[in-house]
Amino acid sequence: MRASDLTAELFLETGNVIRMGIPPMRLEIQTEISGVEFADCFSRRCRVALGGVEINLISLADLKTNKRASGRHKDLEDLEHLP
């Protein structure tokens, strides 16, 4: 997908995965994830500064809930390495 193809609607529609960049420097934005609801996650988000820019990250507890709910082998393996 080219940058010119990106629209606000892509980010607002549930079930989309927007990929930008080339591995290993690829960013994937999922507009919906399993096991958690956005409003609940947003209220528990972690705010951190990265390169002088404040960003929101999913809380560790919500990340664990999501990984468990997805049931994918890789996500279950990730769970074993999270604090």
Mean pLDDT score, 9-33: 93
Q: Which residues of 48-74 are buried (b: 16+ CB within 10 A; e: fewer)?
A: eeeeeeeeeebbeebbbbbbeebeeee
* Any domain includes 80: no
pLDDT beyond 90 at 43: yes
Q: Is residue 47 part of a domain?
A: yes
Write down the pLDDT at residue 1: 67
Q: What is the average per-residue pLDDT within 3-8?
A: 85
**Total number of domains constituting the chain:** 2
Residue 77 forms part of a structural domain? no
> Percent of the chain, pLDDT > 90?
90
Range of the domain at 11: 1-32
pTM (predicted TM-score): 0.80
